[in-house]
Every structure is written in structure tokens, then in C-alpha cells.
Amino acid sequence: MTIGIECHVQLATRTKLFSAADNDAREATPNSKIVPIDFGLPGMLPVLNRRAVELAVKAAKALNADVALESRFDRKHYFYPDLPKGYQISQMYQPIILAGYLDAPLESGETVRVRIHHAHLEEDAGKLTHKDGYSLVDLNRAGTPLIEIVSEPDIHSASAAKAYASELHKLMIYAGVSRGDLYHGNMRFDVNISVAKHEAKALGTRAEVKNLNSFKSVEKAAEYEFKRQVDLLESGGRVVQETRGWDDTKLITISQRSKEDAQDYRYMPDADIPPIRLTSEQVNEIQANVPMLPFEYRNSWKELELDISVIEALLSNQSYAKLVDEIKQTSTNAHARRVAHWFASAIRPEDDVTVQQLSALKPAGFIELADMVEADELSSTAAKEVFSELLVSDHTAREIAEQRNLIQNSDEDEIATIVDAVLSDPASARSIEDIKAGKDKAIGYLVGQIMKLSAGKANPALAQKLLRERLR
């Protein structure tokens, strides 16, 4: 199996690539986010969005790629109802982002390095909705700024394709390049896949599965297409170069059209848009504002010795990663490790945490919570409850614990008095005999009685320790 992936990334600009129309059309009425330039009406001239160029320069840093100090736009001609001009403005010959690479972590703990051939700026086309006997055209998306990131065919398994797509998604969000909303098509993956016999010198004929918008669909489409092509070749057939669609319900690919080559689009330079000329100083200034990227967080956390699952859970949300790293820098590794595990395991579906709340989180509250656990003031269960409230509350960890009556008693003298009371209770006699007879599970009843007498506040570990000392 050999896979190369083209990813269309919608840039997080306020307006479109060549017009002043609103770039956010997620919930908009069809054809409400357009201006005459998006229609391609006669006399309408494109004006390049400076912010889109800046975001492309940031993307280059995330991709370990150089920026072309001079890049140009070309016209890619094809005739379709969602493309009113009859051509798409793209960068065929001089793209803004040159060769780079990214390292995608696999579930096994290994990484796969995928080289980036290039990435170019281009505008998106509109959207067609096909009905029985007719089609509807929505041009809200026409002119949306994209970068198309083209990988080399360095991927050789469906799981590696999924890992690459996932890592690319994180990189674009962390760098501030895209909002990364997969549901609304902010990132769409085209998977080019071919098969060849083991140790073959040449690659097989590729098929392109278009417009995948989830990591799972990237993986499943690669699995299915590999099997389809292998079965076809082994039965004496041949693979044809074509574009295929993905049916997410049936989990199959479907033939759509024969695959065009570059010459079919009649590329030519766009005479209406001057070249983009940058200086090294401008590139450095823009890239200096790129925040920490996923691979930088992974390197920073090596000494925390976190499991891969915990690391990926943290990296699933930039606010989690930033907070844990701030705790690591301002407190101890033990505190950072504990908080990391809370973020990975204690956030529940009902914890409706907004982006604004997450961005307002401060390390001090979580450090205080970790201190309380280390001081045996909170059980692990109570700590998770305080943690969940800390995500959405303005109160401190201690205030939350006190309000919810969660602080446990670790005063040895007070708990010893309760232990003695439980042991002297005739109802405990049977459990005491069982423990002395080697039936260790019976201690659970005694601990339960201690918790009951202490209204749930006794430190259960300390209570069990005192019980065992008295029953020796």
C-alpha cells in the first residue's frame, strides 16, 4: 500500500481570499456570504487577503518547511456550476510553501515521517446539493481561502494515514492557521492510494478518494481501497486512474469520474494578481508569533513519563496542553503529571466547558488541588469532582472542596478514636474473626463503618492502616 494525502485547510481569516465577504458561513443561509467578486462578474478584480498570506507563513513553520520569498497565482480552468468564473485561482507553478515534513506518532509509540512536497494558496469553490433531476448551487464557500498541503507518497498503512491526518489537524490548529472544524469542512482530505507487489520498483496506478472529513474515514477508506485494488489485480483486472467518493454508511468507495491530469486544467498565470514578495525578516517576524506546537509539547513532557494515550488526550485540546506545560514550568513534575492525568481521565461529557473558560484557566488552582491530594485532604474520587468544578468555576480548589464537604480527615488521633469504637462494636466481631482467619476482604466492612461514623470524612487509607495495626 502506498498513500499520499492532499489536505485542503480552510484558513482562519475574517474575510475571503480575494474579496471582503465574510469567511465564516457555517450556519449561514445559502448565497448570503457573497459579493460580486465571488460571482466572477465582469469588471470585478480580486484583491489578495494579507492575513491569508501570514497564515500560510505560519503553516510553513508547523510543517518544517521553507517559505518561498516569491510566489505567484495561476488560473486552473474547469467548468462547473459551483465555479462561476470558469477557473479557480490557485498556485500551480510557484507555491508559497516549499518542501517540509512532519512526524506523526502511531499508537505503538513509533513515529512515521511524512515528507511534504509543497503547499499552495488557493480559493475554494462553491457547494452543490444534488436533488432528483436538478442541483442547487450555494456560493457561500466560493473564494474561501485555503492552503492545499500535498504530501509525498510516504504512507504505507491505513493506521499511518489516520495518524498523519490527525497530526496535521493538530498542527494547523496549534499554529492558529485554521479553526479545524472537521464537521463544517475546515479540513478535507483527499487520499491517493495505489498498490504494488512486494519489492516492486514502480508504484501502482492510483485512485483518489475525495473529500474525507474525519480521521476514521481516512483510515477506513484506505483499508477498503487497498483491499479493492488487491482483489481487482489478483482476479486479473487492472486499476484505473480515477476519482472515487466515500460512502460513510456502507464503508465503501464509489467511482465518480476519470482522474484529470494537470494539462487538462489548462493552467496559466493570473494576470490580475501581482506576485507575493516577502523578505526573510517578514517571514521570521510572522513565525516568531507561532505558539508551541504539538511536537514541542511532547519533547517538553518527556520527563513526565506520560503514557501515549494521556499525551494525545492532552494534545486534543490546546488549552489543556498549555495549562499542563505552565504547571510543569511553574511547579513540580509531580504536580504536572497529576494534572495531566486529570485532564486525560476526569473530564466528563457533561462538563460543558467553553473556549473562553478554558483560555481563562490558571495554573494556581490546579496546583492547589494537587497539593490537597498530596496532603491527603482529598480522596482521588473527590479530587476529580473538584477538578471538574474547577474547569467552570471562579472559586478556588479549597473553596469548592469545602462547599461540597469533600475534605477528608487525616487527623490520626481522631480517626483512631473512631477505629476503636468500630472494633468494640459487637457487630464487628464476625469481620474481626474473618480477618484473623486470613479473609482479608472482610476489612472492607470495618472501613465502611468508620466512613459511616465519620460522615464520609475519614481518610480511608489511614483508617485501614490503623485497623491493621490493632488487629495484628
Over residues 176-232, the pLDDT tens digits come to: 999 999 998 999 999 999 999 988 889 999 999 999 999 999 999 999 999 999 999
What integer pLDDT is reported at residue 112 of this predicted model?
96
> What average pLDDT does range 305-314 have in this prediction?
93
Residues, the chain: 472
> What average pLDDT does range 133-162 have in this prediction?
96
HEC string for 272-316: CCCCEECCHHHHHHHHCCCCCCHHHHHHHCHHHCCCHHHHHHHHC
Residue 137 near residue 34 (C-beta atoms within 8 A): no
> What average pLDDT does range 3-9 have in this prediction?
97
334: in domain? yes
Q: What is the longest distance spanned by two Cα atoms in the chain?
A: 97
Same domain, 252 and 321: no
**Chain mean pLDDT for the chain:** 91
Query: What percent of the chain clears pLDDT 70, i.e. is strictly above it?
Result: 96
329: in domain? yes
Over residues 349-401, the pLDDT tens digits come to: 555 566 556 667 889 999 999 999 998 888 888 899 899 888 888 899 999 99
277: in domain? yes
Same domain, 242 and 301: no
Cβ-based burial of 5 (10 A; exposed 0-12, middle 13-18, buried ≥19): buried
Cβ-based burial of 199 (10 A; exposed 0-12, middle 13-18, buried ≥19): exposed
Q: Which 3 state secondary structure label does DSSP give 129?
A: strand
User: Where among 221, 246, 281 does a domain terminate?
Assistant: 281
Q: Which has more confidence, 418 or 369?
A: 369
Q: What is the dihedral of CA 123, 129, 130, 135, to 10 degrees?
A: -80
286: in domain? no
Same domain, 299 and 383: yes
Same domain, 198 and 87: yes
What integer pLDDT is reported at residue 16 of this predicted model?
97
**CA distance to 169, 259, 324, 357, per residue, from 305 (Å):** 24, 47, 14, 28
Same domain, 152 and 76: yes
Give the pLDDT band (50/70/90) at residue 348. Answer: low
pTM: 0.87
What integer pLDDT is reported at residue 349 of this predicted model?
57
Q: Which has more confidence, 10 or 438?
A: 10
What integer pLDDT is reported at residue 355 of this predicted model?
57
Measure CA of the first residue to CA of the last residue in the chain; give whole Å: 65
What integer pLDDT is reported at residue 27 of this predicted model?
85
Same domain, 254 and 155: yes
Q: Say which CATH number the domain at 462 has.
A: 1.10.10.410
What integer pLDDT is reported at residue 73 of this predicted model?
98
> Cα separation of 407 and 246, whole Å?
54
Contacts of 200 (CB under 8 A, 6+ apart): none
Angle between helices 460-470 and 443-453 (to 10 degrees): 120
What integer pLDDT is reported at residue 471 of this predicted model?
79
Q: What is the CA radius of gyration of the chain?
A: 29
| Enclosing domain of residue 436 | 412-470
Same domain, 262 and 197: yes
Same domain, 337 and 383: yes
125: in domain? yes
Over residues 243-302, the pLDDT tens digits come to: 999 999 999 999 988 766 667 789 999 999 999 999 999 999 999 999 999 999 999 999
User: Where among 253, 281, 309 does a domain terminate?
Assistant: 281
Contacts of 369 (CB under 8 A, 6+ apart): 339, 378, 383, 386, 387, 390, 397
Same domain, 361 and 448: no
Distance of CA 470 to the CA centre of its chain: 53
Over residues 444-472, the pLDDT tens digits come to: 888 788 878 776 777 777 777 888 888 77
Give the pLDDT band (50/70/90) at residue 334. Answer: very high
Tell me the one-letter amino acid at 97. I
Same domain, 268 and 133: yes
27: in domain? yes
pLDDT at residue 142 greater than cutoff 90: yes
Same domain, 224 and 299: no
Same domain, 375 and 326: yes
User: Where among 231, 252, 281 does a domain terminate?
Assistant: 281
Number of domains the chain contains: 3
> What average pLDDT does range 101-105 have in this prediction?
97
Backbone angles phi and psi of 211, in degrees to 5: 55, 50
Q: Nearest CA to 446 among 431, 426, 465, 461?
A: 431
What integer pLDDT is reported at residue 353 of this predicted model?
64
60: in domain? yes
> Cα separation of 285 and 300, whole Å?
24
327: in domain? yes
